[in-house]
Amino acid sequence: MRVPLSWLRQYVDVDLPAQELAHRLTMAGIEVGEVEVIGGWNEVFVGHVTYVHPHPNADRLRLCVVTTGSEELEVVCGAPNVASGQKICFAKVGANIYNTHSERHETLEAAKIRGVESQGMICSAIELGLGDDHSRIIVLPDDAPTGALLDDYLGDTVLDLELTPNRLDCLSVLGVAHEVAALTGKTVREPEASYEESGAPITEKVNISVASPELCHRYTASLLLGVKIGPSPQWLQDRLTRAGLRPINNVVDVTNFVMLEYNQPLHSFDYDLIKNATVIVRRARPGEALTTLDGVERKLTPENLVIADANDPIGLGGVIGGSNSEISDSTVNVLLESATFDGTNNRATAQTLGLRTEATLRFEKGLRPELAPIALRRATGLIQEVAGGTVAPGIVDVLSDEGADPPVVILTSGKIKRMLGMEVDLKRVRETMDALGFTWELEGDAALKVTVPYWRNDVNIEEDLVEEVVRTIGYQSVPTTMLSSPIPFQQPVPVMGLRDQIKDVLAAVGIQEVINYPLVTLQQLEQVEHLDKSALPLRVANPMSSDREYLRTTLRASLLATLASNQGHSAGPFRMFEAGRVFWPRNGDLPEERETVAGVLAGLRHEPSWLEDDSLLDFYDAKGVVESVLDRLGVTATYEPVDDPAFHPGRCAAIKSRDALLGLVGEVHPVVMERLGLESPQVAAFELYLGPILAALPSSQQQFEPLPRYPSATRDLALVMPSDVDAGRVTQLILRHRGVDRAELFDIYAGENIAEGTKSLAFHVYFQARDRTLTNEEVNRSLDGLLRILEKELNVTLRA
């Protein structure tokens, strides 16, 4: 909403600087986004055209003599409407105006036009930034003071309001005037609406009925006969232009002016185009259509409210008029409508038809019915003033019961104290109400019975009035206290704690956290996991773009894409993880949001350095990370070879605790890497599922284990076994053996000196007893037993 101060001053005195006024309004909830200054033209004056001669060298140009009172200057003018005796906007050399050729604001210079020197310029709207018209010069009123600086005469300041949806009232200049008055201690001057009536009363000339009162709470109308359609006077055009609307003709301009003044949208029909002089406010019939003022034919349904004549719709109630009853240059008689339409229905119609008009912006928020006749009378008077004609006596006023009475709200001192934590003197409250235009009666000695003024639709309950009080007296007057209510017990949320812990471990072992969008394409998901066609991921109904359409069911896709995009910048190392949710559809319910942590490792193992080798990150780096995490959590896991479509065959392990799958670790399938444009020879990745991990956490608090008091004994074992025996199984057997405390795998060998189809694993095995130092014999006995078991279970033998 654009509010020119020149217009605002029509209703309220403004003696604050514009910036200060903007600040006060903003603090009170009417945010001023920008304070725009119109003017700054400098050397532009009100000029008087004293002579107009033909240009000697051009048919279309004229030579004009312009006086500014102190000097007479000769200028060339190409506008068809220039005439002797006019008051005009005269730009002298040095003026700062818009140049339509360079499309920039420039300083005006003297110029020769077709051989004749022009000592300035007579301006059209576009040069002064007052409109788009550059075919005609601006003609000022005859009483414009010759020689006055145009900055003084026409300059203005416009407050550009960024309104919240509740403050409908401030979509009007009068509404803003009420705010300004309340905030600065002034009073509002309401405009007058007076006009003369003559001839037959309106009720004899038009027959109006409301068939759908649930959608039209009030319908008022007046009739003007014998008007002359033409351009509006300059003051009216200026008002509209500065507020951001385009002037059309005098009748339509008045309806727009009163809408901006009072907030009430009005509509004017060509009376002679209304069949049988009958207006029916009703729901559209199935199959009915209307060509609206924008030239589009709209198919209507009974959900749409129309204004119809005896036969057909002539307007879409509260949204837009019909072209079949439009005001044109030949219009003589005007039926003027000022109605209160139902907000919800109005908004629905506007949305289904894709038509957001100035009218719907207001109706959808629920205008008060008291406003309709006030605005009708104001507009009727103004039309008579600018377009002439006679007004048929009386108005039509069809009022449904709904919402006819203004809201009355009881405001108590107790409520104010309970909400704000401070007392506000009732006298102060009454002053606030007065300033804002609310009327009140005393209810006992600690309460007011408050009636809400017709321009406010946002005040309905006591809390709303408390806000009116506090925003007027200022929030700084409320004390600052700490909560004194009891502190509730906060039940910890285990999965959040687990996620934080995992994130901390991952960062500590050198992995960078990333956060990706959870919306991806179906193709991205298909590339990295098997999708069940009967249970596709959730889709967004109105995606912003096709690459953000499906809710991810895995973190893999976006994580690998992030890896690919980073590979352009360096050679690694790339060590990244994401902790986020994946979304699994559930029939008829919100999806299951599974907490997942996934990571990728690729590129150089170390930061490039003169010290380090250039080895690459691989499966075992990822597995080491997973082991660190699970070790920190106290979860004992096993790793079993598994197949997964995203992972390299033979290089993927399921991370398990008993039968529960805690996650996967592996190297990404070369085909997937190629599809995603991943450049490293290998990309290692892991996924951890927080739900199962939470279930696998040790149920009891980790307990202290005494440090061993006796030395352990070490034996190095070089074991030979068939190639397909997994090291994990051998290690498990060793660790389970009685007397063994821990085992370290320190070498793996296959090749010369051992039989083909076999490999050798070398372990340091540590034997330990809690209560004594083991003797050599005890250790050897245990070792013999271990070797027997290894041979029996896995065909593992000591290397010769």
Is 16 or 126 the residue whose CB approaches other proteins more closely? Answer: 16
Q: Given the structure tokens 């007004």, which residue do they identify?
A: 391
Q: How far is the CB of 423 from other proteins (least distance, A)?
A: 11
- Which x/- pattern over 19-48 shows residues binding other proteins (rule: CB under 8 A)? -------xxxx-------------------
* Position 566 contacts other proteins (CB under 8 A): yes
Q: How far apart are CA 80 and CA 139, in angstroms?
A: 12
What is the footprint of other proteins within residues 359-398 (CB under 8 A)?
364-365
* Position 180 contacts other proteins (CB under 8 A): no
Q: How far is the CB of 588 from other proteins (least distance, A)?
A: 8
Token pair of 478 as six digits: 């409320």
* Position 701 contacts other proteins (CB under 8 A): no
By C-alpha distance, which of 116, 118, 122 is closest to 86?
A: 122
Pick one of 198, 481, 701, 703: the residue that binds other proteins (CB under 8 A). 481
* Position 514 contacts other proteins (CB under 8 A): yes
* Position 486 contacts other proteins (CB under 8 A): yes
Token pair of 415 as six digits: 């409520």
Q: Which listed range, 47-55, 102-110, 467-475, 678-686, lies at the site for other proteins (CB under 8 A)?
A: 467-475
* Position 463 contacts other proteins (CB under 8 A): yes
> What residues form DSSP beta bridges with 52?
64
Pick one of 17, 80, 115, 510: the residue that binds other proteins (CB under 8 A). 510
Is 111 or 507 the residue whose CB approaches other proteins more closely? Answer: 507
CB atoms within 10 A of CB 307: 26
Q: Given the structure tokens 């951001």, which residue do they identify?
A: 244
Pick one of 479, 650, 706, 751: the residue that binds other proteins (CB under 8 A). 479
CB atoms within 10 A of CB 49: 23
Amino acid at 325: S
Q: How far is the CB of 554 from other proteins (least distance, A)?
A: 16
Handedness of CA 179, 180, 181, 182 (dihedral sign): positive
What is the footprint of other proteins within residues 134-173 (CB under 8 A)?
164-167
Distance of CA 432 to the CA centre of its chain: 34
Q: How far is the CB of 390 from other proteins (least distance, A)?
A: 40
What is the footprint of other proteins within residues 582-611 (CB under 8 A)?
583, 590-591, 593, 606-607, 609-611
Token pair of 308 as six digits: 């119809």
What is the footprint of other proteins within residues 292-351 (CB under 8 A)?
343-344, 347-348
Q: How far is the CB of 509 from other proteins (least distance, A)?
A: 7
* Position 490 contacts other proteins (CB under 8 A): yes
Token pair of 428 as six digits: 């102060």
CB 225 within 8 A of CB 387: no
Q: How far is the CB of 562 from other proteins (least distance, A)?
A: 5
Going by their DSSP bridges, the two strands 44-55 and 58-67 should be labelled as antiparallel
Q: How far apart are CA 387 and CA 294, in angstroms?
A: 24
Instruction: Kindly state the number of chain residues that form the binding site for other proteins, as judged by CB under 8 A.
Output: 89
Is 495 or 735 the residue whose CB approaches other proteins more closely? Answer: 495
Is 476 or 546 the residue whose CB approaches other proteins more closely? Answer: 476
Q: How far is the CB of 31 from other proteins (least distance, A)?
A: 8
Is 487 or 800 the residue whose CB approaches other proteins more closely? Answer: 487
Q: Which listed range, 188-196, 473-481, 652-660, 691-699, lies at the site for other proteins (CB under 8 A)?
A: 473-481
Q: How far is the CB of 463 from other proteins (least distance, A)?
A: 4
By C-alpha distance, which of 379, 169, 176 is closest to 263?
A: 169
* Position 551 contacts other proteins (CB under 8 A): yes
Is 101 exposed, middle or buried (CB count within 10 Å of its CB: 0-12, 13-18, 19+)?
exposed
Pick one of 575, 648, 669, 759: the residue that binds other proteins (CB under 8 A). 575
DSSP string, 415-460: HHHHHHSS---HHHHHHHHHHHT-EEEE-TTSEEEEE--TT--S--
Amino acid at 595: E
Q: How far apart are CA 651 and CA 633, in angstroms?
A: 25
> What residues form DSSP beta bridges with 92?
120
Element (H, E) at 88: strand 87-92
Pick one of 70, 102, 330, 480: the residue that binds other proteins (CB under 8 A). 480
By C-alpha distance, which of 8, 35, 49 is closest to 170?
A: 8
Token pair of 582 as six digits: 């994946």
